[in-house]
Amino acid sequence: MNLCHLNLCCNELPFLEEKLPFLYKHFKQIVMIDYNILEKCNSTDGSIEYIENFPDPEKKITLIKDFNPDKITKYNGVSIIEKQKMFSYGSQFVRDDIDQIWATDNDEFFDEKLINNINKLYAEDSNLISVDIPHIYFVYNQYNIYKYKNGSKFYIRPRVTKHIKDKIYGHCNFETYGKTIKLKNDYLYHFAYVGYNRCLDKLTLYNKKGSKHHHTTNFLKCYKESLLKDEKYFNVRHPNGSDLMCVKYDKDYPEYINVDKLIKKLNII
């Protein structure tokens, strides 16, 4: 099957360095919409230069740098309006020969096994539209994750959907397109709250544009203190105040990721 990876990009060079080579190997097309919502500009950390200099002999990569939210009038989805508009703009670049849209964030990693398993699901069920994948939800570093107290799996929104020609894709609403299944035994490795500076930027954005995270100040204070003390483990509630709790993580990661290198780059204050 022909897969297109469609995603939003903003100052995520450490993730791109680990993820883009994997995406290039397994995807027919890669569409990246680069825009800093808070500063209303493009990435400034070298992300654009890395993407533009990435070897692309098969012409798979489409980097969009001219996004202007004021020019987008037709969009859909949930969460921050600018993100909905970015997905709308990126949709028009998806090629007609694509079978599936994958919309994982740059901090969400997966392996070839997940791709193969999802391809098999689509091959076996012509009515299947979208796939929701549980997350291993990292915080602070590679040794800590957030989990629900009741032990239930953590889902956000489906990241995979069947491609429909000329469709304007929305932000985090793939479950509305048709039959959706939730996977049980495959995961996205999501480094959501890893990196002090990116957590600061993310939470600033959420509190200004999206849902309020009322425990932001305490989360960032504890994060910085733990880094300065060079602590391995972290035990602070999720900044949105939910019942997610910190637990230790000592299992695997996708083998292509240099996890130690990634975390070291992210946790520079």
Q: Do 112 and 200 belong to one domain? A: no
Q: What is the pLDDT of residue 118?
A: 98
- Up-side HSE of residue 223: CA atoms within 13 Å toward CB? 27
* In a domain? residue 148: no
pLDDT for the residue 144: 98
Verify that 166 and 232 share a domain, yes or no: no
- Of 186, 203, 229, the last residue of a domain is 186
Q: Select from 186, 205, 228 the last residue of a domain.
A: 186
Q: What is the pTM of this model?
A: 0.96
Residues ≥6 apart with Cβ < 8 Å to 187: 110, 114, 133, 134, 135, 136
- Residue 184 confidence (pLDDT): 96
**182 belongs to a structural domain:** yes
Q: How far apart are CA 77 and CA 168, in angstroms?
A: 10
Same domain, 203 and 106: no
248 with 171, same domain: the answer is: no
Count of the separate structural domains present in the chain: 2
Alpha-carbon torsion angle 242, 81, 218, 108, nearest 10: 70
Range of the domain at 238: 192-266
What confidence score (pLDDT) does residue 212 get? 72
How far apart CA 250 and CA 210 sit, in angstroms, is: 33
Backbone phi and psi for residue 69, each to the nearest 5 degrees, phi listed first: -60, -25
Spell out, as residue ranges, where the chain has pLDDT lower than 70: 210
Of 145, 167, 186, the residue that ends a domain is 186
Tell whether 78 is covered by a domain: yes
Residue with structure tokens 């028009």? 92
Are 86 and 172 found together in one domain?
A: yes
Does residue 140 fall inside a structural domain? no
Same domain (yes/no): 119, 228: no
pLDDT (tens digit per residue) in 21-80? 999 999 999 999 999 999 999 999 999 999 999 999 999 999 999 999 999 999 999 999
Q: Could you tell me if 102 and 228 lie in one domain?
A: no
